[in-house]
Structure 1
């Protein structure tokens, strides 16, 4: 095995990918909670420059989290495909 490579059994690889998917689901759930709380705060009696800046900051955070979640979804999908290819080659 070359330096920097990791050896996983197919079962370990699937479990690792499932763990990553679960973490992404949790991040998305928390992100949705943050969205709802931010909307509640902004739609309340809070107005003015601070409310606007808060809304802009929350939107930027939301966009960042969405980008990270989407990238992780993509990485997991690619890893699952690669794991299937390796499994099929081993047969």
Structure 2
């Protein structure tokens, strides 16, 4: 099996992956921000506090998954760069 990837294609793929990871982090942050906004103003009481607690736990879970994905992404980027460097030799 042969992989052909130019340095420009590799950089484009890396930038695309970085953008997608940034989008995922932004979405997780927006979910938490909206939850906090909703439960701090228009929705109060025990159910709101319980919901906020659940969503905070979800946010922590999201961050755990996102951080693990980031490790995979970093390894993939390193592998792509190594392949491009190897092809250039």
Q: Aligning the two structures, in what range does the TM-score lie when normalised by the shorter sequence?
A: 0.7 to 0.9
**Are 1:38 and 1:55, in contact at CA under 8 Å, matched by a contact in 2?**
yes
What is the count of residue pairs matched by the alignment?
86
2:38 aligned to which of 28, 33, 41: 41
TM-score normalised by the chain length of structure 1: 0.72
Q: State the Cα distance separating 1:8 from its structure 2 match.
A: 4.8
1:9 aligned to which of 5, 18, 26: 5
Gaps of 5+ in 1: none
**What SS does the corresponding residue of 1:61 show, helix, strand or coil?**
helix
Gaps of 5+ in 2: none
TM-score normalised by the chain length of structure 2: 0.73
Q: State the Cα distance separating 1:27 from its structure 2 match.
A: 1.6
Change in 2 beyond 3 A, CA 1:84/1:16: closer
